[in-house]
Amino acid sequence: MKRVIGELRKRGVFRAAGLYIAGMWLLLQIADVVFPAFDIPDSALRYILFGALAGFPLAMAFSWFYEVSSEGIRSEEEISESHGARASDYLSSGTIILLVLALGISLYANYEQASDRAEEVTQELISILVSDFVNETGDPIFDGSLEPALAIGMEGAPFISSFPRHHASATAAKISGSEALNEESARLVSVREGIRLILLGSIAPSGDGYEFSLRAVDARDGEVVADAEASADSKLEVLPAIGQLAVQIREDLGDASLQDDPEANETFTAASLEAARYYTIAQTYMRREQNQQAAEFYEKAIIEDTDFGRAYSGWAIVARRLGRTEESQQLWEKTLALLDTMTERERYRTLGVYYLTVTGNYLKAIENYEILLEKYPADDVGRNNMAVAYFYSRQFEEALTQGAELLLAYPEIPAHMANYALYAMYSGHFDTALSEASKLLEIEPGYLLAYIPQAVAELARGDKAAATAVYQRLAQQSVQAASLANTGLVDIALLSGDWAGAESLLREGIARDIESGNQAAASRKNVYLTLALLEQEQEASARLAMDAALVDADGISQLLPAARLLVRLKEVERAELIRQQLDSELQAESRAAADIIAAEILLSQDQTAAAVDALTNSIAHSDAWLARFDLGRTYASAGYYAEALGELEKCAERIGESSALFLDDTPTFHYSAELFYWLGVTRQELGMQEAAREDLSHYLSLRVDSDHSIITRDARQRLGAAGA
């Protein structure tokens, strides 16, 4: 073997191999840089590589029998020792030179690619507002149908975010008294909302066709930063022409994706202007919660264009809101079949909404929106929906972080402000919730959801009078607001253990809800009425209230607390029916609720170990505050105080979640009162006397003197025995 290696070295085969490899590497590096400039396909690189591999053994055989020297190619018989040494020197020098050249080209190419990537990453995010097109044709078909198409076309750029026109119109109405977004009002809105560019477009007749012009104007100084023109020979070509305008403006703004992405110039995918116009009207109705009208116009849009994917998804959403579940599912199936008719950005948005609202797969929704924001970092719709997905997966801190990002971009959009205040409430940042909600109510006194974090934050600070005043102000806003305010006042009464006061409020609220046709709210209140009557030992009346609650009960927020009370009423069979109903549903939240009910049933049968298993399963499905609390009190009741303490302390850390346990923004802060009782009991039994006195004292400070419930009597006895 040594002789063979020595002979290979002597004949320069090793150096020839190095020279060959260096040469091929240099060739590939040059090709990698040059081929794209001449539009040579990537497959050519593969052919070069295959050829290099095939030629390697031939080159080695050649180097065995021949030597390349300054005197030409010499055969084996002509090679002398001196010449061989000199040839080896030549080969070594050549190899080094080729390696240096290849390395230099490789570093240069990588540097250019890194620079390109860095430029993409650091591309400044631009917010735009599409103003109303100036319609010089006199044809109303163009009113409201061109602007959404342009916005979608512009959002093909990853760094562009289109400000919602419905928010802009509402702001314009406050400023000027009109929802119209002409140049003047669009500039005023943009300055107020921190929008960078306004797009000012016009359409004019030109023979049998149309001429379009578009300007991108800096909202601050009115300077035109880009302009574009396009034409259409007929109405069929209008939407593609809008896409051409968007492409020209994006190119002027530095959109590199136009070169790299074949879908970058996609725009509104409706087949006709009529379909686009109906879709726009439907969207307006949907945002105003006028769901029946929205459904009618989505249907009209689909009649005009049977493959209009966005219209199917919108119709599916409002059908679900109207309680038409089967119809909604069919529409979603059609939507998913038409995903390829949408732009990439819209596909991710649509899938995200599907995961959020239909399957309840929040982790999948988060994954989907993360991809969307990686590709389109300026997509505020995607960021908002990702925050919602984090919220429903009970990752409140992350939802709060995403909400803060949205507020940085658009600090005065009421929906973003309300969501941020609610995220702060759920995550237990009550001071932030109070300040943000108060800020919003100064701007929008009629924004109902802002009252909830404000009131709950006051309760968390121990100021029941301030919380009561908040709900009283809420009640003045509308009939719907009065119903929500009544629920809030009931929450304060239940927190206080004022069972008679809660009963009075509930009977009044139920009567008003029935009169106004709000049966869902009446059903929820009847559940609370059952609790208030049970605590006053009025069992027969409690059963009547429960029967009324279950007539139209639907959803976890009504069924879960109803089932817990049914167990207290010793109506286990009815509670089991509810458990089975929830357990059969796909959503993890429903199955988690079913396990909580199972635990209540098992505890009523003295099966503590099985109840612990059921609650553990519930937490595995969805780590909800109520499941943790029930597990903690179950451990404490069974004498496992160390285990109880761990669960109850987690509940104390997550007390913000008790603000609205069922994530529907309906106040349930009264659940948190019992937490302090069970913490006091657990710590007292573990010998933590000072902490126990604080917990029990806090619990009793929440309760009115008239509360003589079992746990309140026990708390008073324990505190008295501790010498307080």
Which pLDDT score is estimated for 119?
46
Which pLDDT score is estimated for 605?
95
Nearest-CA neighbor of 120 among 158, 154, 155?
158
Rg (CA), the chain: 35
Nearest-CA neighbor of 264 among 127, 154, 147?
154
**Helix (H, G, I), strand (E, B), or coil: what is residue 666?**
coil
Percent of the chain at pLDDT exceeding 70: 81
φ, ψ dihedrals at 554, nearest 5°: -155, 140
Which pLDDT score is estimated for 568?
95
Burial of 76 (0-12, 13-18, 19+ CB in 10 A): exposed
Range with the poorest average pLDDT among 42-46, 148-152, 249-253, 686-690: 42-46
First-to-final CA distance of the chain: 94
**Helix (H, G, I), strand (E, B), or coil: what is residue 557?**
helix
Burial 111-127 (b: 16+ CB within 10 A, else e): eeeeeeeeeeeebeebb
Whether residue 354 has pLDDT greater than 70? yes
Whether residue 589 has pLDDT greater than 80? yes
Which pLDDT score is estimated for 500?
96
Beta bridge partners, 218, equal 197
**Helix (H, G, I), strand (E, B), or coil: what is residue 599?**
helix
Which pLDDT score is estimated for 349?
92
- Alpha carbons within 13 A on the beta-carbon side of 479: 10
How far is Cα 378 from Cα 254, in angstroms, rounded to an integer? 15
pLDDT band at 457 (very low <50, low <70, confident <90, very high): very high
Whether residue 549 has pLDDT greater than 60? yes
- Alpha carbons within 13 A on the beta-carbon side of 319: 20
Mean predicted lDDT score pLDDT of the chain: 85
Which pLDDT score is estimated for 114?
44
* 365-422 pLDDT, tens digit each: 999 999 999 988 888 889 999 999 999 999 999 999 999 998 888 887 888 999 999 9
Contacting residues for 334 by C-beta, under 8 A, at least 6 apart? 312
Amino acid of residue 173: A
Over residues 415-433, the mean pLDDT reads: 95
Nearest-CA neighbor of 327 among 284, 303, 365, 298?
298
Number of Cβ within a 10 Å radius of residue 568: 16
| Higher-pLDDT residue of 68, 588 | 588
pLDDT band at 105 (very low <50, low <70, confident <90, very high): low
* 246-304 pLDDT, tens digit each: 999 999 998 877 765 544 444 555 567 888 889 888 988 888 778 899 999 999 999 99
Helical axes 572-583 vs 588-604, angle rounded to 10°: 160
For residue 611, what are its two tokens? 């109840």
Over residues 561-566, the mean pLDDT reads: 96
Nearest-CA neighbor of 309 among 272, 349, 269?
269
Contacting residues for 421 by C-beta, under 8 A, at least 6 apart? 432, 433, 436, 437, 440, 450, 453, 454
Number of Cβ within a 10 Å radius of residue 107: 11
Which pLDDT score is estimated for 40?
63
Integer CA distances (angstroms), 696 to 156, 221, 676, 685, 710, in order:
59, 63, 6, 13, 14
Q: What is the DSSP letter of 586?
A: S
pLDDT band at 513 (very low <50, low <70, confident <90, very high): very high
Which pLDDT score is estimated for 1?
58
Beta bridge partners, 647, equal none
Which three-class secondary structure string do you get for 213-256?
A: EEEEEECCCCCEEEEEEEEECCHHHHHHHHHHHHHHHHHHCCCC
Whether residue 603 has pLDDT greater than 50? yes
Range with the poorest average pLDDT among 379-383, 545-549, 571-575: 379-383
How far is Cα 102 from Cα 112, in angstroms, rounded to an integer? 15
How far is Cα 121 from Cα 375, in angstroms, rounded to an integer? 10
pLDDT band at 629 (very low <50, low <70, confident <90, very high): very high
Which pLDDT score is estimated for 350?
93
Whether residue 218 has pLDDT greater than 70? yes
Give me the count of residues in the chain.
Answer: 724
How far is Cα 377 from Cα 57, in angstroms, rounded to an integer? 51
Q: What is the DSSP letter of 688?
A: -
Range with the poorest average pLDDT among 85-94, 133-142, 345-354: 85-94
What torsion, rounded to 10 degrees, do the Cα atoms 492, 498, 504, 509 define?
A: 20
Nearest-CA neighbor of 375 among 410, 349, 340?
349
